[in-house]
Amino acid sequence: MIPLYHDFTDESVLVFGGGPVGARKARRFAAEANVIVVSPRFEEDDYGDAECVRAEPTPDDVSDWVSRVEPALVVAATPDGGVNDAAERAAQETGALVNRADESAAAGDGDRAARSAVVPATIEDGDVRVAISTGGASPALAKYLRERIESEIDGAGAMAELTGQLRQELRETDYTPDERRAAVRAVVQSPKVWKALRTGESKARQEADRVIRNTVGGER
Ligand X SMILES: C[C@@]1(CC(=O)O)C2=NC(=C\c3[nH]c(c(CCC(=O)O)c3CC(=O)O)Cc3[nH]c(c(CC(=O)O)c3CCC(=O)O)/C=C3\N/C(=C\2)[C@@H](CCC(=O)O)[C@]3(C)CC(=O)O)/[C@H]1CCC(=O)O
Q: Which stretch binds ligand NAD (CB under 6 A): 16-24, 169-177, 182-190, 208-216?
A: 16-24
Q: What are phi and psi of 129, to 5 degrees?
A: -130, 130
Query: Does residue number 134 form part of the binding site for ligand X (CB under 6 A)?
Result: yes
Q: Which stretch binds ligand X (CB under 6 A): 81-89, 94-102, 166-174, 206-214?
A: 94-102
Query: Does residue number 17 form part of the binding site for ligand X (CB under 6 A)?
Result: no
Decide whether 121 or 212 has the Cβ nearer to ligand NAD.
Answer: 121
Decide whether 15 or 211 has the Cβ nearer to ligand NAD.
Answer: 15
**Considering the complex, what minimum distance in angstroms separates the CB of residue 25 from ligand X?**
6
Query: Does residue number 152 form part of the binding site for ligand NAD (CB under 6 A)?
Result: no
Binding partner of residue 135 among ligand NAD, ligand X, none, CB cut-off 5 to 8 Å per kind: ligand X
> Which of 78, 133, 134, 163 touches ligand NAD by CB under 6 A?
78
Query: Does residue number 86 form part of the binding site for ligand NAD (CB under 6 A)?
Result: no
Query: Does residue number 39 form part of the binding site for ligand NAD (CB under 6 A)?
Result: yes
